[in-house]
Amino acid sequence: MRQGWGEAPRALPVERGGNGPPRLGEKAFPSESTCSAEGKTNPSRNLGWYGMVTFFSFFATPAGILLTLYLADSGVRLVHALGTGEPMGSLFLAAPIALWGVLSGTTLRLLMRLRCGPAGVPDRIVQAGNGLIVRASRPHDEWSDRVAFARDGRLYALHSAGWGREGSRRCYEYRLTPRPERATVRRVVELDGT
């Protein structure tokens, strides 16, 4: 046996003798292990066909099926990306994204209905000094500071927007102030409400 740099001297298997504990620096091989130097083999350590069956039986479990599909999907996507320079969509990304979209949209609508009331409720308009406060049950995505709001022949501009309260329910409040006469008007929204 060859001794490497920095290793303690090893005893030869013949010198070791018996089943006593190994001395310092010896390799601790159990007496029944496979050792090519001694010419022994241990059939209990050789798994053979049973080990292969055990290994491949994993692929019959749900996790194994998903792993196989994932690897196949990834392989097809890799070949497609290398061939065309553009990756294709993934089954494992499309299904969860679609499910997330359905669940989150449904959950968001349910939460908005519980917090703010039904969606079809008309906006409530309250006079506040020389401006207006518009309380809506849902945010108006198309309303911005570039839009002019008309009510009773006067034009208003959006000053601020945010969540507020109306009684026990939440609402989205838009604070409108009179629009300067010389300001450019790109679009006018007629305020209909109570």
The whole-number pLDDT of residue 140 equals 85
**11-17: long-range contacts at Cβ-Cβ below 8 A with a sequence spacing of 24 or more?**
13/37, 13/38
Model confidence, pTM: 0.46
The whole-number pLDDT of residue 82 equals 93
> Residue 35 gets which letter from DSSP?
B
What 3-state DSSP class applies to 41? coil
Distance CA 121, CA 138 (A): 9
The whole-number pLDDT of residue 143 equals 85
Is beta strand 187-190 parallel, antiparallel or unpaired with respect to 147-151?
Answer: parallel
The whole-number pLDDT of residue 146 equals 82
The whole-number pLDDT of residue 122 equals 84
**H-only helix segments in the chain:** 13-16, 48-57, 62-84, 91-116
The whole-number pLDDT of residue 83 equals 92
Pick from 55, 62, 89, 61: nearest CA to 73: 89
The whole-number pLDDT of residue 39 equals 56
Walk along the chain (194 residues) and give the pLDDT tens digit of each residue: 555 566 665 555 555 555 555 566 555 555 544 555 555 555 555 556 667 777 778 888 888 888 888 888 889 889 989 999 888 888 777 878 888 889 998 898 888 888 878 877 888 888 888 888 888 888 888 888 788 888 888 888 888 888 888 888 888 888 998 888 777 777 888 887 66
In contact, 10 and 1? CB cutoff 8 Å: yes
What 3-state DSSP class applies to 82? helix
The whole-number pLDDT of residue 87 equals 82
Pick from 179, 105, 181, 180: nearest CA to 189: 179
